[in-house]
Amino acid sequence: MNLPLSSDYIDIHTHGGQSGEGIFVLENLMAHEERVPDDLPEQPCSYGIHPWNLLEENSDLLLNKLKAVTGSINLFAVGECGFDKLRGASPELQRKLFEEQAAIAEVIKKPVVIHCVRGWDELLASHKKLRPKMPWLIHGFRGNKEMAKQLIVKGFYLSFWFDYIIRPESAELIRSVPKNRIFLETDGADIEIRDIYNKVSADLNLPVEELRSVIWQNFTELFNKTAGLTG
């Protein structure tokens, strides 16, 4: 199984993506779908229960599906999972299943990939309650500088929402976040990860090859905190 090189473009969260020459992707699989990590043995994956697809009647089934894949060698992270006030299960069920998934991540020593829409108070409350040792990564972040600062102080990593980060107005946010907490993603959209890197490197006044190295170092740090996947 290939791991990223310091010269690679790392796409930390995608759906239906494939690693290729110069590009490393972390493919997100979801428990309500049929595919599991063992179906893609050479492809690094995350796997979790998305709040959109969570119901009272399927929560036990989905949780058992997650537990069944925890031994997969290509499972790099748990998630995406989290909170969404606009769509999905009840707030109580979202919290319960999120915290159960975060607890599994602690046992198997994997990071947690988080989907959060207007659920920051709930997320921070769970973080305070659980006091996780494993790192948590927000995918698709599009909040403001103040929220980013709160999350960074708590030890979160941030991967920015592709559609927001390519806009000119995102430059102020990206400059406010410590470089050692940044990741970039396509989220399965029809956009090139290279184009996202080029935009962010310009915002940071940082050569793109240096940005690639920075994000590779972040990846190494993220996974060396867990199961040492990067060696």
- CATH value at residue 141: 3.20.20.140
Q: Which regions in the chain score pLDDT beneath 50?
A: 228, 230-231
Q: For residue 209, what pLDDT is reported? A: 97
- Buried/exposed code over 53-64 (b: 16+ C-beta within 10 A; e: otherwise): ebeeeebeebbe
Domains identified in the chain, total number: 1
Q: For residue 230, what pLDDT is reported? A: 45
Q: How confident is the prediction for the chain on average, in pLDDT? A: 94
Q: For residue 119, what pLDDT is reported? A: 96
Q: Is residue 231 part of a domain?
A: no
Claim: this prediction has a pTM higher than 0.85: yes
Q: Is residue 34 part of a domain?
A: yes
Q: Is residue 141 part of a domain?
A: yes
31: left (phi over 0), alpha (psi -120 to 50) or beta: alpha
Q: Is residue 29 part of a domain?
A: yes
Q: Note down the domain range covering 107.
A: 25-192+203-224
